[in-house]
Chains A and B, each alone.
Chain A
Amino acid sequence: MNTLLIAEHNNQNLSESTVKSATAAAQMGGELHVLVAGAGCAGVADEAAKLDGVAKVLLADDAQYEKHLAEPMSALVVGLADGYATIATPASTNGKNFMPRIAALLDCSQISDVTAVLDANTFERPIYAGNAIQTVRVSEAKKAVTIRPTAFAAAALTGSAGVDAIGASDNPGVSEFVSEELTKSDRPELTGAKVVVSGGRGMQSGENFPMLEKIADKLGAAVGASRAAVDAGFVPNDYQVGQTGKVVAPELYIAVGISGAIQHLAGMKDSKVIVAINKDEEAPIFQVADYGLVADLFTAVPELEEELGKVGL
C-alpha cells in the first residue's frame, strides 16, 4: 500500500518543508505519490515531480484549493484515499488544520509531528513540549501523519515523476477565504533558515527589533521571537518559536533577551549551535546554550554587529 504526501506550497513554489517531508514520507511504505492541490499551481507539480523517491504527482488545480481551506481539502483527499495506507503532510499550520479532518473522515488515527520513522507503522514524536519522546505504532489499515520537517534532511531533486491532473471534488461550501495579512520580509523563511536570531521580552519594544534585524542581515538569518515578545506586540504572531509556535533547527540560533521557558526551548533546542545573550546568569536558556554571554543586550547586540563587521560580515 502506498503513501500520499500532500504538498505544502503557495501556488508558486513547493515549500522547503515539503522537500524535507518527502524524505520522511519515502520511508512510510509503498510508492510515494505527492498531491499538489491549489490554484494555478502546475509549476509546483513540476517541482514536486523532481523530488527523489516520488513515483507520481497528482495535480488538483482548482480555485477552491487556492488557500488550502480544510473543508474542500479534506473532501478532495478523502476521495483519493483508496489505495493509500498512509496520508502525510508537513506539520505546518495548513497541515495541522486539514489533516485531522481528513483522518476523522476516514475514521483513522493521526500521528502528529513525527520526528523519526522507525518503520512504515512506527514513529517517534515529541510530547510535553519535547520533554518526552513517544514511540507509537499503528496497526490499522490507514493512518494520517504530520511530519516535523526540521527533523529530516531535504530530499534530492533528481527525480522525474509523471504528473497526472485530477478533477476537483465538490466543495462542501461551508467556508470561504476572506483576506490575509502576510508578514513581508526579504529574509529567509523562519523554519528553513540556516541562522535564526530571536528576541524576547528583554527587547523591551518593537522599536528595538531593528537591532536584531541588522545582525540577521549580516548572517543571512531569519528573525524569530518568544511568545512574550509576540504577546507584547513587538513582532507579528508568525515570529513565535516554540511548543505552540514554529519549530526551528538552524545551524545557529541566537536567543537575545529570552529566558528559556520550556515552551520556547521546545521550538529551538534541536538547533546545532545555540547562543544566548541574557543579563541574568541564572536564566534557563544558558542550560541549553553552547555559548552564553551574560550581558546587557543593549550593549552586546550593537557590539556584536561591529564584531561581525570586523570579520568581514
Chain B
Amino acid sequence: MKILVPVKRVVDYNVKIRVKPDQTGVDLANVKMSMNPFCEIAIEEAVRLQEAGTATEVVVVSVGPTQAQETIRTALAMGADRGILVQTDDEMEPLGLAKILKGVVEEEKPDMVILGKQAIDGDNNQTGQMLAALLGWSQGTFASEISLDGDSLNVTREIDGGLQTIKLAMPAIVTADLRLNEPRYASLPNIMKAKKKPIDEKTVADYSADAAPRLEIVKVTEPPVREAGIVVESVNELVDKLKNEAGVI
C-alpha cells in the first residue's frame, strides 16, 4: 500500500504573530516556520504503517515556496521515502490546493492520503475533505485511530459528543487529529539520511489545475483586546466579586 501525505509549512505554533499595520496580512518576516503540527501527526501515522509492514511507500508533498523543501526534509527525516515540492509563491486556497493534490494523486496513485485536520495558520480545516470530494473517495476526518480491515479502513473520529467509528471503502482520505499518535523527533542519523532522499520539483502548471485565488482578503486586523483584570487575594473575595461586581453567579 502506498500512502501520500501532504504537509504544510506554517508559522511555528509557539510564535505570537503580529498583524501588519497596513492590515494586508500577518507579518512573516524573520518568523520561525515549522511543519504544521497536524501534518507531523499525519506523517507519523504513515511511517508507523510502513514500519508495521502495511505500507510499502510513503510519499510526502508540499505546495509552497522553495523553503517548503525544509518541511519536506523534516518529513523525510521522520521516515518518509521521497518528496514532491510543488513550487509556488502564491498563497493557496483550500479548493485550489485540493485540485493540485488531486493531480498529484492521479500521478502517484496512492491507496490512502493522510492529511492534517487543519493548518494552524488559516485554520480552514477543508483540504482533506475537498480532496476526497474531487477524487470521489471516502473520508475519515479528525481521526484518533485507524486500522485496516481487509479491503476497508476503520477510522475512529473525534466528534463533538465523544468518539465515532466508521468503516470506509478504500482508497480513502484520512485527516489526523491530535490523539492519533505522538510524532517522533527525527534522530541525527535519520536527518543525515534524509539529505540523500529525492525531492521532485514540480510547478502548479504541471497539474493543469485551476488554483487561482477566488477570495478577496479585504483586510486582516487585530482581535479586540481584553481589558486587564484584577488579582484577588482570597477565594472569599473572588466569590464576592463574581456575585456583586460581575453578577455572573
Chain A residues within 8 Å of B, Cβ to Cβ: 67, 69-71, 74, 92-94, 96-105, 107-113, 122, 126-140, 172-183, 191, 195, 219, 227, 230-231, 236-238, 240, 243-244, 246, 251-252, 262-263, 269, 272-275, 281, 286-295, 300, 303-304, 307-308, 310-311, 313
Contacts and interface: CB of A to CB of B under 8 A. Distances in A.
B11 A128 contact: yes
B221 to A, nearest CB: 5
A128 B160 contact: no
B167 interface: yes
A110 B94 contact: yes
Interface in B121-151: 121-134, 136-139, 141-142, 144
A292 B235 contact: no
B226 A96 contact: no
Interface stretch (B64-72, B82-90, B185-193, B209-217): B209-217
Interface stretch (B13-21, B47-55, B104-112, B195-203): B13-21
- Output the residue of A69, A227, A272 with the most chain B CB within 10 A: A69
A288 B228 CA distance: 7
30 contacts: A70-B129, A70-B141, A93-B159, A97-B142, A98-B129, A104-B129, A104-B134, A110-B130, A128-B17, A128-B121, A132-B221, A133-B221, A133-B222, A134-B219, A134-B220, A135-B218, A136-B217, A140-B214, A176-B167, A176-B168, A177-B166, A178-B154, A180-B161, A244-B117, A269-B226, A287-B226, A291-B246, A292-B229, A304-B239, A307-B236
Given A128-B17, A134-B217, A178-B166, 19 more contacts: A74-B133, A97-B139, A100-B125, A109-B215, A112-B125, A129-B123, A136-B218, A175-B169, A183-B162, A238-B160, A238-B162, A246-B160, A272-B248, A275-B238, A281-B231, A292-B232, A307-B236, A308-B239, A311-B249
Given A100-B94, A133-B222, A304-B239, A127 B121 contact: yes
Interface of B: 11, 13, 16-17, 19, 26, 38, 93-95, 98, 117-118, 120-134, 136-139, 141-142, 144, 154, 157-169, 177-179, 214-223, 226, 228-232, 234-236, 238-239, 241-243, 246, 248-249
Contacts of B159: 93-94, 180, 238
A244 B132 contact: no
Contacts of B139: 70-71, 97, 101, 175
A178 B235 contact: no
| Chain B contact residues, majority secondary structure | mixed
Which A-B residue pairs are the 9 nearest by beta carbons?
A100-B129, A104-B133, A104-B130, A290-B229, A174-B138, A100-B126, A135-B218, A174-B169, A252-B248
Nearest to B134: A104
Contacts of B216: 136-139
A180 B166 CA distance: 9
B147 to A, nearest CB: 11
A131 B26 CA distance: 10
Contacts of B226: 269, 274, 287-288, 290
Nearest to B160: A93
B223 A132 contact: yes
A177 B164 contact: yes
Contacts of B128: 100
Contacts of A112: 123-126
B179 A231 contact: yes
Given A71-B138, A93-B159, A128 B235 contact: no
A148 to B, nearest CB: 11
A69 B235 contact: no
A107 B234 CA distance: 57
B53 to A, nearest CB: 25
A193 B63 CA distance: 40
Contact of B95 (A103, A290, A308): A103
A48 to B, nearest CB: 19
Given A97-B141, A273-B242, A304-B238, A178 B167 contact: yes
A103 B126 contact: yes
B12 to A, nearest CB: 11
Given A97-B129, A129-B123, A131-B16, A293 B232 contact: yes
Nearest to A99: B129
A293 B235 contact: yes
A175 B130 contact: no
B249 A219 contact: yes
Given A137-B218, A231-B178, A274-B229, A132 B17 contact: yes
A128 B218 contact: no
A118 to B, nearest CB: 9
B165 A178 contact: yes
Contact of B215 (A69, A136, A290): A136
A303 B126 CA distance: 45
Contacts of B219: 134-135
